[in-house]
Amino acid sequence: KKIRIREMKPERMMVNADIDMLKTVVRNLLSNAIKFSKENSEILVKMEEVNGMAVVSVQDHGCGISEGRAEEIVAC
């Protein structure tokens, strides 16, 4: 699909987490981003500290999830 994956992260960040679970979550988010992204697009994997917590996000330019469906997922 010729998708570019770009990362934004601090040079160093201390995180207390289950490394295997973190890898699984990021791998699933990245897999979905690739699956639903258009050809020749870009995916951004970002890690930052917000209020003392590590926040990992994956941003793509796919079709996304409808607002109603997103609310169903959050309610689970």
pTM, whole model, 2 decimals? Answer: 0.79
- Residue 43 clears pLDDT 70, i.e. is over it: yes
- Could you tell me which residue, 74 or 11, shows the higher pLDDT? 11
Confidence of residue 26 (pLDDT cuts 50, 70, 90): very high
- The whole-chain average pLDDT of the chain stands at 92
Confidence of residue 76 (pLDDT cuts 50, 70, 90): low
Confidence of residue 49 (pLDDT cuts 50, 70, 90): very high
Q: Can you say how many angstroms the Cα of residue 45 is from the centroid of all Cα atoms in its chain?
A: 6
Rounded distance between C-alpha atoms, residue 48 and residue 53, angstroms: 8
Q: Can you say how many angstroms the Cα of residue 22 is from the centroid of all Cα atoms in its chain?
A: 11
Please spell the DSSP secondary structure of the chain, one letter per residue: ---EEEEE--S-----S-HHHHHHHHHHHHHHHHHHSPTT-EEEEEEEEETTEEEEEEE--S----HHHHHHHHH-
- Could you tell me which residue, 58 or 65, shows the higher pLDDT? 58
